[in-house]
A and B are shown apart, each in its own frame.
Chain A
Amino acid sequence: MTAPIEFCHWLSGTPGSVAFHESIWVYPIVESIHVLTLCVFLGLTVMLDLRLLGAIMPATPVSQAIRRLLPWMIGGFWVMAASGALLFYADPVTNYFNIFFRLKLIFLVTAGLNAAVFHVMASRTIRQWDLDPRPPIRARLAGGLSLALWAAVVICGRMTAYRWFDGDLESLAR
């Protein structure tokens, strides 16, 4: 089995990674796409979470909001994931040793688990509270948790650009 760091070293040596890293235009453009798609994916996620918290769109059934917004959220998510993967590909080793990048991944996975748990729960019970302006506590909890986790993802993502503790992590790895 290859260690993650060896994989990152190998990846950073591939021609595509080097070209991407050194490009003048491609990198900023991909980064811009990553940031602006935030409005689509996270913007609509926030709106849905606020609905779950009972803070917005009280007259819109939760199931309707989910059905009409989910395709946009999923589309936005894949654009974010693909552009994010490309940004990682441009500089794998530096990202690997970046503490904020690692934290971001942890929050990302946790946010995904939260969404999965919510969907399993909602698919069984949503009929009982679909029209409630203020959904039951478990739905509100899922919405609140989602907001907090995605905020953590955004903050860690922003901090990834700053390499404050990379040396610490690198020396730990030795």
Chain B
Amino acid sequence: MSAPVFFTWCETSWIGAGIRDSTWLFPVIESLHLLGLAVIGGSVLMVNLSLLGLGLGPQSAAQVWRDTRPWFVGSLAVMLGSGLLLFTSEAEKLYYHEAFWVKMSALVLSLVFTATVQRRIALGDPDRIPPLRSRAVGLVSLLLWFVVGAGGRWIGFS
């Protein structure tokens, strides 16, 4: 069975071929992806530590959420942009790679969870939200993002 047209099209596009044929383009984009990881990892961790009652503490979750949003969104854009470029250079291979699908599923779940449940809890009144609930949300978020990161690393082992 061959990969769907879209994946083949990505890989044979001039962008995909250009990255694949270049010696240094792939490593450079990978580095950018890693630098983005540090920033997105930091902002995700800041919010989740607060929700867990650690870091800057549960009282500051809403403040931390608001303060880190521009950095979260900005680094997410860098991650998606650099990730898409890396994807185009080996789209067909990724189609058959389990880790890629695990990562993408976890990414969608993480983003949905962040924009809905986590957002509501982080911005809610900390005195009215049971500590156990905000802790559970922090833990689930950390686990989901961990799968995204671990899946990403696993793509490299093939």
A57 engages B31 (CB within 8 Å): no
Q: Please pick, from A47, A72, A154, the residue contacting B34 in the complex, using a CB distance under 8 A.
A: A154
A86 vs B116: C-alpha distance in the bound complex, in angstroms? 40
Chain A positions 114 through 125: 1 when the CB is less than 8 Å from some CB of chain B, otherwise 0: 000000000000
> Smallest distance from the beta carbon of B100 to chain A beta carbons, Å?
16
Verify if A46 is at the interface (C-beta below 8 Å from B): yes
Verify if A7 is at the interface (C-beta below 8 Å from B): no
Q: Which residues of A contact B38 (CB under 8 A)?
A: 38-39, 42-43, 46, 150, 154
Closest to A150 in B: B38
A50 vs B72: C-alpha distance in the bound complex, in angstroms? 13
Given contacts A47-B43, A60-B60, contact A39 B31 (CB under 8 A): no
A40 engages B41 (CB within 8 Å): yes
Given contacts A60-B63, A154-B38, contact A69 B55 (CB under 8 A): yes
Q: Please pick, from A28, A42, A46, A158, the residue contacting B30 in the complex, using a CB distance under 8 A.
A: A158
Known: A38-B34, A43-B44, A158-B30. 5 other contacts (CB 8 A): A35-B153, A44-B45, A68-B57, A155-B31, A164-B23
Q: Please list the 8 inter-chain residue pairs (A to B) with the smallest Cβ-Cβ separation, ordered nearest first.
A: A39-B41, A43-B42, A43-B41, A42-B38, A32-B153, A155-B31, A47-B42, A57-B67
What are 17 of the A-B contact pairs (CB < 8 Å)? A35-B37, A36-B146, A38-B34, A39-B40, A42-B38, A43-B44, A45-B42, A46-B42, A47-B46, A50-B71, A60-B56, A68-B55, A68-B57, A72-B55, A151-B35, A158-B31, A161-B27
Binding site for B on A (CB under 8 A): 28, 31-32, 35-36, 38-40, 42-47, 50, 56-60, 64-65, 68-69, 72, 150-151, 154-155, 158-159, 161-162, 164
